[in-house]
Amino acid sequence: MDATLHHPGASTERNPDADHTPFGVHPRRLDAVDNVAVKSPDPVPPSPAPRALDWRVYADATCAGLTPLIPLPFLDLAAEAVFRRRIPGAVAQARGVELAPGATRLLSRGHEQWLSLDGCLKIPLFVFKYVAKKLWRKVIYVFAIADAVEQTSLYWHRAFLTDHIIRGGHASAGADLDRTGRVALETLRRSDTGALKTLAKTLIRQSGRILRTLRRSRRQGAEAHTTEFEAFFREHWTTNQRSLFSVAVLYNDLYEGSLDAPPRHPAPPPPDCVTPPRHRR
């Protein structure tokens, strides 16, 4: 599917200059300008367009990605949850958007789902695997660094996707939050969220006192205590936002496809429709 998605009722004729714009983005889709939310959401948000970096979108996400470096098991999970829950609110504040009730909880859910029966049955196994893995990797710190590299790249993509969803109006009042949540999680599952591992690895190697930064950011807010991370991320922003575009494009495709999908649960028959009884032979 073409990554360029048009407004309903707009002309479907392809602009010959589209492929010559940055990243192949259609000029008509550059209506999501910096720090301005799209007021009337389309069935899918506008296609991603190059924009200036707003560090408020990525400050908490970067801290969440670096939490595997915390040497105490379960404390790293708690810190990750704190930063993850702050991401939607920070993005909404940066974009001047008021989120719908429940949108923050929906957009801050963990990558794993434990609400289903199958998920609940996996909790004991998860706890056992987590403890065994973390104890081993805290002893050998290089493995913790590898986890932090992978998780930081994942959270950068997640923050970009959250920004894309909020800018597109899919977390505002009147939006189908259930559909938004399902498509967002499916997007993260299908995306190559490890595309920025090299950047994350360089950030960890060049940054000092990461644990102190995480501790202060958790207590006082990430934006004020991550200026070193911001300077590094800003230096590489123009190049690396290309990779982040992929999650927004995939979200648009999956969301558009979900509009044509049949209902998750078949509707019950009308009250006046009576199924004839089966006759026994």
Average pLDDT over residues 118-142: 63
Mean pLDDT of the residues in the chain = 78
CA–CA dist 107, 103 (Å, integer) = 6
**251 vs 129, residue with greater confidence:** 251
pLDDT tens-digit map of 68-77: 999 888 899 9
- Cβ–Cβ under 8 Å, residues 157 and 185: no
Q: Where are the alpha helices (DSSP H) in the chain?
A: 59-66, 75-95, 103-107, 117-139, 141-167, 177-190, 197-206, 210-220, 227-235, 237-260
The pLDDT tens digits of the residues spanning 183-199 come to 999 999 999 999 999 99
What pLDDT band is residue 207 in, cutting at 50, 70 and 90? confident
DSSP string of 239-257, one letter each residue: HHHHHHHHHHHHHHHHHHH
Tokens of residue 133, six digits: 């893995």
Instruction: Decide if pLDDT at 263 tops 90.
Output: no
Find out whether 153 and 191 touch, Cβ atoms under 8 Å. no
Residue 56 near residue 91, CB atoms below 8 Å:
yes
Distance CA 112, CA 98 (A): 27
Question: Tell me, what's the pLDDT at 217?
Answer: 96
Q: Is the pLDDT of residue 162 over 50?
A: yes
Q: Would you say residue 23 has pLDDT above 80?
A: no
Residue partners of 161: CB distance under 8 A and separation at least 6: 184, 187, 188, 247, 248, 251
Asked if 87 and 64 count as a contact pair (C-beta separation under 8 A), the reply is yes
What would the pLDDT profile of 24-64 be if each residue is shown by its tens digit?
Answer: 333 223 233 344 444 445 578 888 888 899 999 999 999 99
pLDDT band, residue 174 (cuts 50/70/90): very high
